[in-house]
Structure 1
Amino acid sequence: MAWIVLIASGVLEAVWASALGASKGFKRTRPTVLFVVALVLSMAGLAYAMGSLPVGTAYAVWVGIGAVLTVLIAAVRGQDKLTPLRTALLAGLIGCVIGLKAVS
């Protein structure tokens, strides 16, 4: 159960990071509200997962999922470019997250 919550929290990290950028310095209401809600839920889920998973592993997986998804969201929105090298590096990051799960 902790892994499922951790994965969902990683997804929410990408949501709050993207909403933070869209809030334009907290000047836009909807993205700001989304940022706050996603941030609180993401942190709560991370805290829950750390109750039964190693702290370093849980944090690395959370950050990895959030980072990869944030880049992908930005690429879909046309705010970032996915070059072959960046894609390979993101794939490597995903591989490291899977590896951490496998050895935990």
Structure 2
Amino acid sequence: MIKIKRIYQEAEKNDGYRVLVDRIWPRGISKERAQLDLWLKQVAPSTELRKWFNHDETKFSEFKTRYLAELAEGEAASALMQLKEIVATQDTVTLLYGAKDQVDNQAVVLKEVLEK
């Protein structure tokens, strides 16, 4: 099972393996509170793409297209393979993100990719 959750929400036992999929550490969250198993920043959107998107929901469709292209090459592709291996070996994986928008963010895209 793959779940997505804002890192600002409390960690729960049923989160399973917790992976932060942001390139930048979220403000105000201590490492203890985060309770991460892995911070996989290489699978996050590039700084350029993140700044271009700026969490503008009208750009989400284009963001998704560009992000999928990033996930197909370089270190992002390697990180995605690592994430796929984790999903294959864990009962539950929770993808954590910092964005306020719970519908239009990279964790939603990653979940779709991993569930295919």
Fold shared per TM-score above 0.5: no
Highest relative contact order (Cα 8 Å, sep 6+), 1 or 2? Answer: 2
TM superposition score category, shorter chain reference: 0.3 to 0.5
Q: TM-score, normalised by structure 1?
A: 0.34
Of Structure 1 and Structure 2, which has the larger fraction of its residues in strand?
Answer: 2
Greater fraction of residues in helix? 1
